[in-house]
Structure 1
Amino acid sequence: MRSEGVCALELEAVGKVYGSGGGAVTALDGVSVGVRKGTFTAVMGPSGSGKSTFLHCAAGLDRPSSGRVLLGTTDLGKLREKALTELRRTRIGFVFQAYNLLPSLNVLQNITLPMRMADRKPDPRWLREVVEGVGIAKKLEHRPSELSGGQQQRVAIARALITRPEVVLADEPTGALDTRTARQVLDLLRGVVDGMGQTVLMVTHDPVAASAAHSVLFLADGKLAGHLPQPTPDRVAERMTHLGEW
């Protein structure tokens, strides 16, 4: 599936094989996807469908066995490890199920950590917009242990946004949250896209979470198995049924 418009991220005929010979496992098999700038895309599929590998290849954490991954016009496969690390630090934002905050740092220090690691200073106006946008402007001096799970995930989202990345990759970002808090975080991610013009690609197993996105991509057996625009939880769950998980 190739999206119309300018793509923030493209996978072109990406294949990924782990191992060799008789023990080889094909995790991705010729997947082509274009993620348009300023969109919120969810990726779903049964266990073992290739979701994690898809995300790892998109992030440059795994190198494809075939095909290529483009972040804007940059071919990730042509970068050496040091350049890839720099790219991940500045041009890609990450949000995980485990918030991955450093307990010894306060909220502000956690948010600005990627900038410090890149030896850059955050833009004060953008920092203010981010912390107000995610609703933690009054918590900047707190440590992670003083925050709820939902607040910690808001900090993690702010940290992902601070470098003004070209794409934010979210891996089960609501997996550790209760239903109400998960909804708030999903609304926040959607707001980051609709209000700030960010691009978000989210892997999830939850039809309700997926329904917060503009569209859903389905993977099955390492292949692209469908695309659902304007998803609802019922339509997502029904489509998953045909993929054999539900």
Structure 2
Amino acid sequence: MTDEAVRLAAVRKDYGRVTALAGVDLVFPRGGFTAVMGPSGSGKSTFLHCAAGLDRPTAGSVHLDGQDLAKLSETQLTKLRRDRIGFVFQAFNLLPALTVEQNVVLPLRLAGRRVDRKLVTRMLTHVGLADRRRHHPGELSGGQQQRVAIARALVARPAVLFADEPTGALDTRTAAEVLALLRDSVRGGLTVVMVTHDPVAAAHADRVVFLADGRVAGELIHPTPEAVAARMTHLGAWGGAVAVGGA
């Protein structure tokens, strides 16, 4: 076991004649919170899919939790995603007919794993929803539904949580609550890799990695919203927008 949760080495991904990733080298440390940003078409979604084992790169290698994904069969890769990776998306993807608790334990039941009720209670308490466990998604706010999705991602105790625009559908205050929850999970030892377009969201991370034209275009350590926005403007993410801070 290394201190690296995820490593991408010379990762390239082609879709026909289109190159989405053009030789990406990145390392994500265990217990770190990294945001990934870039202009539209920069390769963010492709990066996430390759890093999380949802898609295989055309060239290069991806190591996740110490395993070379290229050496895994589809069955082994499915098991790795189920047991060692958590996913949170902009769309909460909850089943409306199930209660909060049933949604949270669903991945365990689908995997045929024993449900640890004490762990489930701890997870629901962690996300502030212990008193809503018997409610259905339609009875919750958007922020509460996203917290259910986070609890569902955490209940299997993954090595890495990949979040794709997790606050994109939330208002500013609710987004801050969700990001604080992810921050607290990192303090507990989880590795979080978050794709976002929001400089304020990115500033909750330990560092921000920037992609442009399928390549790594730099990073910021201990980012601020102003520094992130300035760097994004420099990358052309917002056309002729005026930078709001130093890069």
| Structure 1 and Structure 2 fold alike (TM over 0.5) | yes
Q: 225, 230, 240: which is aligned to 1:238?
A: 230
Determine whether 1:218 maps to 2:210. yes
SS of 1:49's equivalent in the other structure is coil
1:130 maps to which residue? 123
Is contact 1:122–1:163 with CA below 8 Å preserved after alignment? no
The alignment-based identity, stated in percent, is: 64
Provide the alpha-carbon RMSD of the alignment.
1.0
Unaligned runs of 5+ in 1: none
Q: TM-score, normalised by structure 2?
A: 0.94
- Kindly provide the amino acid, as one letter, of the partner of residue 63 in structure 2: L
- Kindly provide the amino acid, as one letter, of the partner of residue 6 in structure 2: L
Counterpart CA distance in 2 for 1:121 and 1:176 is 33
- Kindly provide the amino acid, as one letter, of the partner of residue 43 in structure 2: G
Q: Provide Cα deviations, 1:204-245, integer angstroms capped at 9, x if missing partner.
A: 000001001111000000000001000110000011111111
1:11 maps to which residue? 8
1:47 maps to which residue? 40
Q: 179, 203, 228: which is aligned to 2:220?
A: 228
Counterpart CA distance in 2 for 1:42 and 1:76 is 22
Counterpart CA distance in 1 for 2:66 and 2:185 is 23
Aligned ranges for residues 157-168 of structure 1 at < 5 Å? 157-168=150-161
- Kindly provide the amino acid, as one letter, of the partner of residue 44 in structure 2: K
**Structure 1 residue 136: Cα displacement:** 0.7
2:86 maps to which residue? 93
Unaligned runs of 5+ in 2: 239-247
- Kindly provide the amino acid, as one letter, of the partner of residue 51 in structure 2: A
Determine whether 1:77 maps to 2:70. yes
Give the number of aligned pairs: 237
Q: 113, 119, 122: which is aligned to 1:120?
A: 113
Q: 99, 124, 139: which is aligned to 1:106?
A: 99
Aligned ranges for residues 30-41 of structure 1 at < 5 Å? 30-41=23-34
Q: 46, 60, 68: which is aligned to 1:67?
A: 60
